[in-house]
Amino acid sequence: MKLSPKPAVATRKPLAGRYTLLIALLILYVSLSTVTRVILFIWSEKNVSGGILPVFRAFITGFGFDLATGLSLLLPYGIYLLVFPKKWIGLLADKIFTYCCITIILLLIFFSLMAEFPFWNEFGVRFNFIAVDYLIYTYEVVSNINQSYPIPLIVAALAGLVFVSFRILGSRGMLYAAFSSKTGLIKRGCFFLPIALATLLLLGFLNNKQAESGSNLVVNELGKNGVFSFFAALRSNELDYTTFYPRIADTTAYDTLKKNLLQNNQYYLRGRRNDIIRNTIATNEQHPNIVLIAIESFSADFVTAFGNEEHLTPNFDSLAKESIFFTNLYATGTRTVRGMEALTLCVPPTPGNSIVRRPGNEHLFSSATILHQKGYQPYFIYGGDGYFDNMNNFFGGQGFDIVDRDRGNPLSDNITTHRYTIPDEEVHFENAWGICDEDLYSQAMTYADKSSNAQIPFFEFVMTTSNHKPFTFPEGKINLPKGSRNAAVKYTDFALGKFIRDARTKPWFRNTVFLVVADHCASSAGRWEININQHHIPAIIFNLPQAPQKIDRLVSQIDLMPTLFGYLNWNYRSAFYGKDINATMPGDERAFIGNYRTLGLLKNNLFTQIDDHKRIKQFQVNDKGQSLSDKNGINNTLVTETISYYQTASERFKTGKMRE
């Protein structure tokens, strides 16, 4: 390709001269962004509600975001065109820089738009905090992409698109104009100034919240731009509750909270209004070993008991019949760190990032606080590198010993717990996210043996990874091919069944209780900002002396550990927001469900929702979260209760009141 091809047909010198190429690239980006929006709309049309007007508004709003993003992307090149000396225009240095710059811009345009489709497929939204995390944890993400997608084909497609773009730009005379139009600084400034002003005005005026005018998730997300949303998430990694969310007086918040937290076997230790420490009274304590298995993305939809007819979970189904089986349980969030937060800290999902990923999260009041008081040795066992999502620092900060793959990422200096690396010779299969579930359970067995031999009761938090894209696992284990979600679920279930069978042969099995629960669902996408049915997860407590039973009462993920402590008849001081469901009065059941920006409380078939616009909404919930309908009028008691939970939880973490 020649560096400055002359158009085949003589054309009139473009009015914009040097800026013709920039304007062409802007038109290309906005056009492709609009096409992307149309495809996403067609893809998710079944989840769109509210008529044509909100969709039309989303496209208009989206055009503004696309224009702002395109101008921002091209502004550095526009500055170069302005300041590059006139006498050097068209020389070799100008051509080399221009071709390199345009190549980078085209790669960014095509790659960012292509990346939107798999992200939308998995999460049902534009780029958000998750995409920011993916940029930070490059090893796991790059490996996952390499194992999940045909990288050579993607690279070839990108190169082909760039090549075709240059051919079109050259054939239209735009490259020729960029190198032959030796306009002066003043004339170039006349073109650059409107571009710069438009960029600054759009960036100053536009805010990602402006796309979120309704309660329909798809329409809100259609009105956004992926790149713009990415940088918006990067700026607002944490959301201050006081600034962004509806508030009530602190005295009202704590009075309401304390009234709703108290179980019928508890009393408050002190009379201070903002002190939620309470004593839990029981008799005949039991101290079995405890293994908590958090299964990656294990939606209730996969389980036969909830209507699945593909027989993906025969081992879980069998265990459920011998266990305490929670049939109406809801995850607090949509990510693993939210499940860890709920199961360990037993608190609602505060806005922004999970507490697991925030600084200053050491020595919080957690399930480990109580376990240490009872003489347990807690382990966090993870088949990947626990550096991902700050998991090791979080669990290490609560006093857990860490077992992971350890790729050389150190723990924080103020964490003194032990860290054990899973050796290569004990790994038979591994992908981007970690070792297969069978190998992970072997590690759980090893450390259970170690503690049992030392006659120390153990608690293991085992976090699986096999049910995660790229959905790969060892050959010859199940009758489905690798690479699909269903196959990964079936393998995960196979590994769970094998672990329990192997555990039955151990001397410590008779005195060990197993809590098996999902961290979150496989998908949260759908019609609403919060899709309640996409938070429905299964859980069982296996090997208790109590007779098997189904618990059909509404349960939050943050209630599981207090409920387990209740079955063990433990006396302890609690600062949990979670409650023992068996010590909760009928009608007081509730579940906390949220995402990064929208928070909600499900209670008595009403879902009360608050968000960072300070809006309050209530919906009537039908069919276990399968459908929502706007409620006429507002139940102010539930509004106050909802705000009291989230406001106080945010304040308690921010001010250090969550510490032990």
More confident of the two residues 290 and 83: 290
pLDDT of 612 reads 81
CB within 8 A of 263, min separation 6: which ones? 280, 579, 580, 583, 584
SS (H, E, C) 225-268: CHHHHHHHHHHCCCCCHHHHCCCCCHHHHHHHHHHHHCCCCEEE
Domains of the chain listed by start with CATH number: 17-235 (no CATH), 250-528+541-654 (3.40.720.10)
Instruction: Compute CA 542 distance to the chain's CA centroid, rounded to the nearest angstrom.
Output: 28
* Strand intervals (E) in 528-623: 536-542, 549-551, 555-556, 572-574, 591-594, 598-603, 606-611, 616-622
Report residue 627's pLDDT band, with 50, 70 and 90 as the boundaries. Answer: low
Report residue 230's pLDDT band, with 50, 70 and 90 as the boundaries. Answer: confident
- Cα–Cα distance measured from residue 132 to residue 128, given in angstroms and rounded to the nearest whole number: 7
What residue has token string 């696992």? Answer: 473
- Cα–Cα distance measured from residue 62 to residue 49, given in angstroms and rounded to the nearest whole number: 18
Nearest to 346 by CA among 549, 566, 512: 566
One-letter amino acid for residue 542 of the chain:
F
Nearest to 257 by CA among 653, 643, 655: 643
Cα diameter, the chain: 95
Residue 197 has pLDDT above 80, yes or no: yes
Residue 7 has pLDDT above 90, yes or no: no
What confidence tens digit (pLDDT) does each residue in 555-568 have? 999 999 999 999 99
State the Cα angle at 318 between 317 and 324, rounded to 5°.
80
Return the sign of the alpha-carbon dihedral for residues 433, 439, 443, 444: positive
- Cα–Cα distance measured from residue 131 to residue 128, given in angstroms and rounded to the nearest whole number: 5
Residue 82 has pLDDT above 80, yes or no: yes
Report residue 624's pLDDT band, with 50, 70 and 90 as the boundaries. Answer: low
Return the sign of the alpha-carbon dihedral for residues 54, 56, 61, 62: positive
Residue 107, classed as helix, strand or coil, is helix
Q: Can you tell me the mean pLDDT for 426-452? A: 96
| 562 contacts 576 by C-beta, under 8 angstroms | yes
- DSSP state at residue 111: H
Helices 250-261 and 636-654: crossing angle, nearest 10°? 100
Supply the mean pLDDT for the chain: 90
The first and second tokens of residue 179, run together, are 């190198």
| 449 contacts 368 by C-beta, under 8 angstroms | no
What residue has token string 């709003």? Answer: 61
pLDDT of 430 reads 94
Taking residue 502's Cβ as centre, other Cβ atoms within 10 Å add up to: 15
pLDDT of 12 reads 47
- DSSP state at residue 591: E
- Cα–Cα distance measured from residue 635 to residue 209, given in angstroms and rounded to the nearest whole number: 26
What confidence tens digit (pLDDT) does each residue in 413-428 have? 778 789 999 999 999 9
| 276 contacts 259 by C-beta, under 8 angstroms | no
Nearest to 360 by CA among 180, 210, 252, 238: 238
Nearest to 68 by CA among 254, 179, 200: 200
What confidence tens digit (pLDDT) does each residue in 22-64 have? 999 999 999 999 999 999 999 999 889 888 999 999 999 999 9
pLDDT of 222 reads 93
Residue 593 has pLDDT above 80, yes or no: yes
List the end-to-end C-alpha distance of the chain, in Å, as a whole number: 67
Q: What is the DSSP string of 536-557?
A: EEEEEEES-SSPPEEE-S-EEG
Helix (H), strand (E) at residue 284: none
The first and second tokens of residue 72, run together, are 């921002």
| 468 contacts 296 by C-beta, under 8 angstroms | yes
- Cα–Cα distance measured from residue 217 to residue 131, given in angstroms and rounded to the nearest whole number: 18
- Cα–Cα distance measured from residue 108 to residue 114, given in angstroms and rounded to the nearest whole number: 10
CB within 8 A of 487, min separation 6: which ones? 471, 473, 478, 480, 481
Instruction: Compute CA 647 distance to the chain's CA centroid, rounded to the nearest angstrom.
Output: 21
Nearest to 352 by CA among 659, 599, 618: 599
What confidence tens digit (pLDDT) does each residue in 241-289 have? 887 899 999 999 999 999 999 999 999 998 888 999 999 999 999 999 9
Distances 618 to 56, 529, 631 between C-alpha atoms, Å: 26, 13, 6
Nearest to 468 by CA among 515, 392, 523: 523
What confidence tens digit (pLDDT) does each residue in 123-151 have? 788 887 667 666 655 666 667 677 777 88
Q: Are strands 324-330 and 549-551 parallel, antiparallel or unpaired?
A: parallel
What confidence tens digit (pLDDT) does each residue in 374-398 have? 999 999 999 999 988 899 999 999 9
More confident of the two residues 365 and 137: 365
The first and second tokens of residue 275, run together, are 């002190």
What confidence tens digit (pLDDT) does each residue in 305-364 have? 999 999 999 999 999 999 999 999 999 999 999 999 999 999 999 988 899 998 889 999
- DSSP state at residue 5: P
